[in-house]
Chain A
Amino acid sequence: MVFGSVLEGHMRRWSRAVTAFALAGSALTVVPPRSAGAAQSPPAAAAASPAGDEVAQLRGELEALRQEYGGRMAAIESRIAALEGGRATEATPAAAAPAGSKVFNPDVAAIGNFVGAAGKSPGGGEPSLNMQEAELSFQAVVDPYARADFFVTLSPDQVALEEGYITFPTLPGGLLTKVGRMRDAFGKVNGQHPHTLPFIDRPLVSKNLTGGEDGLADAGISVARLIPNPWLFLEATGQVYRGESEIFKAPTRGDLAYVGHLRAYQDLGESTNVDLGGSIAYGHNGVTDDTTTRLLGVDATLRWKPLRRSIYTHFLARGEVAWSRREEAAGALGSVGGYGYLEYQFARRWTAGLRYDNSERADAPWLRDTGGSFIVTFKPSEFSLVRAQYRRTSFAANDSPANELLFQFLFAIGAHGAHPF
């Protein structure tokens, strides 16, 4: 037992200290002040020398010795007391062999996203079998002030930085600040990586109004602050972007894009909660030098998850609506779209979902696409899932609806940081 040998070692040293101390003490009492008898070094031989200054020197040495051992004894006693207080704590083995500065390597994970599709769709739709992307994540603490997260997506024909930013979690004023490339805080679905979405595709409103297949992401600075109030969780986020995304194109350096988001959250008991959000995004759209696009969005989520059975069942209802006002050379185009989604977990590994889509197109508001999806997800573990989605879409430009079956394999290896709620 590690503890035993440590204690034994202490005891041995302790008894040696006691002996030395006792010897020193007896020497001191034996030698009368200002009288004959001081020592060569071993204190036991003290009485031999007659010189008075040697006596003083000896006294000094003894005092030093006493202090040294006294201090050590106090330390040892307190350690023994601590050990006894801990009732024979076994020394906890080191978790892993120290690997030098390698321990500072970031958490690395790879997430594979394989998507297959069958059925007819105008314009082709998703490929029949496709390794849509592999996401690599690198996450670590930078220094006492910041952490960094990188998400790199690899697809068969390109490598892209999906996100890469530094986060300062403890700036004065409660400003949670991020700097880098990140997904815009516009609504709920835009902020999510493909592997955290509850469906295989993004809703029509994302594709038509708010950023296309991949959503809005850009280089910029984000600041988020909690707004103190006695009633609910309220967080305001302000972001400034370069203006280079699916929606925004800055003609000159000064034409930045701006995003604002307000989130309100409230528990309605321990199982149920509501989450409401409002978003605004504004920037130049690049049609001409001074045309802009303005997006407004609202989102609402109701969640239910009983704590005693939290791994077996939950229910979620979510809706998002977005309005787009896009200026073009001939005038402004206004369009609206949204989706509604219901999700129910009916067994530990099984979840079913239902989504309704309805959205106009930002550049052609007179065209309205609608769709519906039924989604089933099977999760063998936290680290993998298999998903099937039946999707029926009525595109405005086509007479007959597209009926498609999508399926997905998602699998993660490595250490991937937990996602925000």
Chain B
Amino acid sequence: MRLVSIAALALLTAAPPARAAVNVMTATEDLADLTRQVGGDRVKVESIARGYQDPHFVEAKPSFILKLAKADLLVVVGRELEIGWLPPLIQQSRNAKVQVGAEGYLDASLTAKILEIPTGQITRAMGDVHPLGNPHYWLDPGNGRRVAKAIADKLSRMAPADAAYFSTRYADFDKRLAEAEKRWDAMMAPYKGLKTVTYHRSWPNFVDRFGLDVIGYVEPRPGIPPSPRHTIDLIAEMKRQNVKILLVEPYFDLKTPQSIGRETGARVLVMPPSVGGEQEITGYIKLFDYDLALLVAAIRETGAK
């Protein structure tokens, strides 16, 4: 089967790529890699945000306007993750193709499984709450697959002549991801129900997929920096429940997490939630390889349960 797909791929790639590559801009590096996985050499991809940067707070620099101006397709995370910076960029791009709702605008969240969609009344007293659900959904490989499919379908509509190429690439990615998922599931199987604390609510899809249990957050509310009162409560709760793992996204300050770590004996892990968060995380599958290896090593060392 693999041989067949490789052969098919070889045949397809052997054909001279006479057509111009589809020029794709993505909001984040995760989406950029998924686009690369299915688009291969028929696309040119660049991300606006870097993987080690807080995706809520990207600056709408004019240099991004120039890049968006030339894009055929813009892939966004959606769920209002980019609401603070993408709208002015799209407007100033003067590019009809990538305006919201146009053919070259793809909201990757539309086919993804979204968690934490608020029910009942929400106010900003709850902090930086996302009314359309948690936007960090790419941290479930199942969603990576769905997004890759959506991108492949979109590319096929934009470049119908390459549709077979994109669907072969997607099938290949799907297979590699499924193999990797087996590996990851085996790695994480002994640690189902492991209790953790995270800095921001970036990980609901990740913990849902790998069976972890987040019992608290360093932020008292999403987007609100840690307060002494909340930190004291969190330390007490972590001691009570014997939590030994504390996950921090690379763009947050480590001072509070480290003092929590000292008090509770928990291991503070700087865990990148995105491709490019560390130099060696060059792709979507490597993101999980890196994060899970980091997690498992820490669990073994701390004897966390």
Complex interface residues of chain A between 364 and 388 (CB less than 8 A to chain B):
381-383
Stretch of B8-16, B126-134, B184-192, B238-246 that contacts chain A:
B126-134
Q: Is B99 an interface residue (CB 8 A)?
A: yes
In the complex, whether A397 has a CB less than 8 A from a CB of chain B is no
A54 to chain B, nearest CB (A): 46
A273 to B113, CA, bound (A): 38
> In the complex, which of the residues B62, B86, B94, B131 contacts A170, with contact meaning CB atoms closer than 8 Å?
B94
> Cβ of B193 < 8 Å from any Cβ of A?
no
Q: How far is the CB of B133 from chain A (nearest CB, A)?
A: 7
With a CB–CB cut-off of 8 A, which chain A residues contact B124?
A: 381, 383, 413
Complex CA gap A144/B60 in Å reads 23
A95–B91 contact, CB under 8 A?
Answer: no
What's the nearest-Cβ distance from chain A to residue B23, in Å? 15
Residues of B within 8 A of A383 (CB): 124
Interface centre among B65, B94, B223, B225 (most CB of A within 10 A): B94
Q: Mark B56-72, 1 if CB is under 8 A from A, else 0.
A: 01011111011001000
Q: Compute how far the CA of A169 lies from the CA of B95 in the bound complex, rounded to whole angstroms.
A: 8
Interface residues on A, range: 35 or more
Asked whether A176 is an interface residue with its Cβ less than 8 Å from the other chain, the reply is: yes
Q: Which residue of B lies closest to A139 (CB)?
A: B87
Question: Bound state CA distance, A233 and B89, in angstroms?
Answer: 13
Which of A171, A349, A382 is packed against the most chain B CB atoms within 10 Å?
A382
A253 in the interface (beta carbon within 8 A): no
Residue A421 lies at the interface, judged by CB distance under 8 Å to chain B: yes
Contacts known (A86-B146, A418-B60, A418-B85); A93 close to B117, Cβ less than 8 A: yes
Question: For residue A147, which residues in chain B have a CB less than 8 angstroms away from its CB?
Answer: 91
Is the C-beta of A63 less than 8 angstroms from some C-beta in chain B?
A: no
Q: Is B149 an interface residue (CB 8 A)?
A: yes
Inter-chain CA distance A106–B238, complex, in Å, is 45
If A233-B66, A310-B251, A311-B54 touch, whether A176 touches B128 (CB-CB below 8 Å) is: no
- If the complex has contacts A169-B99, A381-B224, are A421 and B60 also in contact, measured as CB distance less than 8 A? yes
Task: Provide the residues of chain A in CB contact with B66, threshold 8 Å.
Answer: 226, 233
A35 to B183, CA, bound (A): 65
Whether, in the assembled complex, A87 has its beta carbon less than 8 Å from a beta carbon of chain B, the answer is yes
Nearest Cβ in chain A — how far from B192, in angstroms? 20
Query: Is B253 a contact of A310 with CB atoms below 8 Å?
Result: no
Are A86's CB and B111's CB within 8 A? yes
Is B168 an interface residue, CB under 8 A from the partner? no
Give complex CA distance A309, B83 in Å.
20
**With A89-B111, A93-B117, A270-B50 in contact, do A174 and B84 touch (Cβ < 8 Å)?**
no
The distance from the CB of A382 to the nearest CB of chain B, in whole angstroms, is 7
Q: CA–CA, A174 to B63, complex, Å? A: 16
Question: If A95-B133, A169-B94 touch, does A174 touch B83 (CB 8 Å cutoff)?
Answer: no
Residues of B95-111 whose CB lies within 8 A of A: 95-96, 99-101, 110-111
On whether the beta carbons of B133 and A170 are closer than 8 Å, the reply is no
Tell me, yes or no, whether B88 is within 8 Å of chain A by CB.
yes
B67, chain A: closest CB distance, angstroms: 10
Knowing A89-B146, A169-B99 are in contact, say whether A421-B61 is a contact too (CB < 8 A). yes
A315 CB within 8 Å of chain B: no
B57 lies within 8 A of A87 (CB): no
Known contacts A170-B94, A382-B128; decide if A418 and B133 are in contact (CB<8 Å).
no
6 extra A-B contacts, CB within 8 A, seeds A169-B91, A226-B94, A307-B53 = A93-B117, A233-B66, A270-B50, A307-B251, A310-B57, A421-B88
> 9 A-B residue contacts at CB 8 Å?
A93-B117, A170-B95, A171-B94, A226-B69, A267-B61, A382-B223, A383-B124, A418-B83, A418-B85
- 7 smallest beta-carbon distances between A and B, as pairs: A170-B96, A233-B62, A307-B53, A265-B62, A421-B60, A174-B94, A420-B88
By a beta-carbon cutoff of 8 Å, the part of chain B in contact with chain A is: 50, 52-54, 57, 59-63, 65-66, 69, 83-88, 90-96, 99-101, 110-114, 117, 124, 127-128, 131-133, 142, 145-146, 149, 174, 223-225, 250-251, 253
